[in-house]
């Protein structure tokens, strides 16, 4: 059974804006793997037009590591959404739906005119919504 272990959002300049771990996953390991996978995301972003035409903004599996896999999603504004899951292969459609919902939560969060969208996200309500989304998704995958 696959599980989401960690999610993150990185800025256009690859600065971490949000990093949340789940199931007692090592936060330092999450940070390292997510940041390491950005190189692959940048390579895929260079080919973005072809990828987006065929698969939308969902990049799929971008970085396998030991017993985890990193999946990616890139927004039209070039924000990078990353997800670390356990090694067993989750349903790709469910992961794509997860990223779309995660993106929607982010858009709703930054729609507040008092939010600086280039600063670290530490809003308790955003964290709560992401945690609920991950819990709900983990039940289905």
> Quick one: pLDDT at residue 130?
97
What is the torsion angle, in degrees rounded to the nearest 10, for the CA atoms of residue 86, residue 38, residue 9 and residue 60? -50
What is the torsion angle, in degrees rounded to the nearest 10, for the CA atoms of residue 126, residue 127, residue 129 and residue 135? 160
3-state helix, strand, coil in the chain (%, to 5): 45, 25, 30
Answer yes or no: pTM beyond 0.85. Answer: yes
Helix (H/G/I), strand (E/B), else coil: 63:
strand
> Quick one: pLDDT at residue 54?
47
Nearest to 133 by CA among 1, 7, 45, 2: 7
Strand-pair partners of 65: 68
Helices (DSSP H) in 1-123: which residue ranges?
27-46, 48-55, 92-110
May I ask the CATH class of domain 4-140? alpha beta
Tell me the domain boundaries of the chain: 4-140
> Quick one: pLDDT at residue 29?
85
- pLDDT (tens, 9 = 90+) of the chain, 141 residues, equals 568 999 999 998 999 999 999 988 788 888 888 888 988 888 877 776 555 544 458 888 898 888 889 999 988 888 999 999 987 766 788 888 999 999 999 999 999 998 888 899 999 999 999 999 999 998 887
């Amino acid at each position: 059974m696959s599980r989401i272990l960690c999610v993150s959002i990185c800025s256009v300049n690859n600065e971490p804006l949000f990093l949340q771990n789940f199931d007692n996953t090592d936060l330092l390991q999450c940070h390292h793997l997510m940041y390491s996978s950005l190189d692959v995301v940048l390579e895929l972003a260079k080919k973005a037009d072809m990828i987006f035409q065929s698969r939308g903004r969902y990049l799929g599996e971008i970085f396998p590591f030991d017993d985890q896999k990193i999946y990616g999603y890139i927004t039209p504004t070039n924000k990078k959404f990353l997800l670390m899951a356990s090694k067993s292969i989750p349903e790709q459609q469910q992961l794509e739906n997860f990223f779309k919902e995660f993106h929607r939560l982010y858009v709703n969060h930054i729609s507040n005119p008092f939010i600086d969208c280039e600063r670290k996200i530490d809003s308790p309500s955003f964290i709560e919504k992401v945690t609920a989304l991950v819990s709900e998704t983990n039940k289905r995958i």
